[in-house]
Amino acid sequence: MSNLRILVPIKRVLDYAIKPRIAASGKAIDLTGQKMSLNPFDELSIEASVRLREAHGARISDILAFSAGPTKSQDALRTAMAMGADRGLLVDTNNELEPLAVAKILKKVVEKENINLVILGKQSIDDDAGQTGQMLAGLLGWGQATQAAEIELKDDVVKVVKEVDGGTETVQGKLPMVVTTDLRLNEPRYASLPNIMKAKKKKLDKETLESYGEGLQGRLEILEIAEPPPRQGGGKVEDVSGLVGKLKELGAI
């Protein structure tokens, strides 16, 4: 029964409650001065890994929180460590990395750190791609279980209940594995003040993008980012008859 060395990749993103503003260039979202947070799905991944430790104790020998992004991403890593990750690793870069590039970086981290379980969010709420976990599993040739609603570890077998269209599906595989988390998986804990203080003493390594080699440049060019066509409310009706009448008028019933 092998010990678990868990990698939890996280991303710092525009806070979920904030409406994105398009930058003057028309090719990006303006993030200056905006509230940034840990991607909500990544909070679930950290919580899942900490719960595995709570259930399996010393078998979980390492929980490594990882991020690739601007220097400020270390705030997100500190949050992860305050929630229970053992240490952090930041690839410090201002480059916008596409999922394929992130997956390639993660592959190297997995190999170097002897990771045997990677838990990622199913998507980041900024680019909504939903690709990184599956790409990493493909690059590593590992089993994958996406959109996890339940994760159960027994010996070296990981059993995952997945959210699929129309219900759930259960799959299981042997370690090593890649799991991506869905919202129903758990309710992430709040980091307590003592844990936030302790997290400041945990180890946070920094590396540069260059140390991860070639082939990480973007493959897609953003030509334009635009506002979606605005939708105008059509006003209110007085009562249920008014509602039925308006729906008929609009041809909806």
Rounded to an integer, what distance in angstroms lies between the CA atom of residue 85 and that of residue 77? Answer: 9
Rounded to an integer, what distance in angstroms lies between the CA atom of residue 86 and that of residue 240? Answer: 57
Q: Of 32, 94, 155, 219, which one interacts with another protein (CB under 8 A)?
A: 219
174 part of the interface to another protein, by CB under 8 A = yes
Give the Cβ contact number of residue 127 at 10 Å. 14
In the bound state with another protein, the residue whose beta carbon lies nearer, of 55 and 225, is 225
Least Cβ distance, residue 125 to another protein (angstroms): 6
Q: Within a 13 Å sphere around the CA of 93, how many CA atoms are in the beta-carbon half?
A: 20
Q: Of 37, 182, 191, 199, which one interacts with another protein (CB under 8 A)?
A: 182
Q: Which residues contact 83 (CB under 8 A, 6 or more apart)?
A: 43, 46, 47, 50, 188, 189, 191, 195
Q: Of 16, 35, 200, 208, which one interacts with another protein (CB under 8 A)?
A: 16
Q: Footprint of another protein on residues 61-120 (CB under 8 A)?
A: 98-100, 103
Lay out the site mask for another protein across 50-69 (x = CB under 8 A, - = otherwise).
Answer: --------------------
In the bound state with another protein, the residue whose beta carbon lies nearer, of 82 and 137, is 137
Least Cβ distance, residue 78 to another protein (angstroms): 25
Q: Footprint of another protein on residues 223-242 (CB under 8 A)?
A: 223-228, 231, 233-237, 239-242
197 part of the interface to another protein, by CB under 8 A = no
* Nearest to 175, CA basis, from 61, 4, 9, 49: 4
Q: Which residue has the tokens 């969010």?
A: 121
Residue type, 27: K
In the bound state with another protein, the residue whose beta carbon lies nearer, of 85 and 100, is 100
Least Cβ distance, residue 50 to another protein (angstroms): 20
33 part of the interface to another protein, by CB under 8 A = no
Coil, strand or helix: which one is 230?
coil
155 part of the interface to another protein, by CB under 8 A = no
Q: Of 137, 148, 151, 153, which one interacts with another protein (CB under 8 A)?
A: 137
Q: Of 127, 150, 156, 207, which one interacts with another protein (CB under 8 A)?
A: 127
Buried b (16+ CB within 10 A) or exposed e, 49-88: bbbbbeeeeeebebbbbbbbbeeebbebbbbbbbbbbbbb
In the bound state with another protein, the residue whose beta carbon lies nearer, of 163 and 207, is 163
143 part of the interface to another protein, by CB under 8 A = yes
CA dihedral 26, 32, 33, 39 (to 10 degrees): 90
Phi first, then psi: give them for residue 180, nearest 5 degrees. -110, 145
154 part of the interface to another protein, by CB under 8 A = no
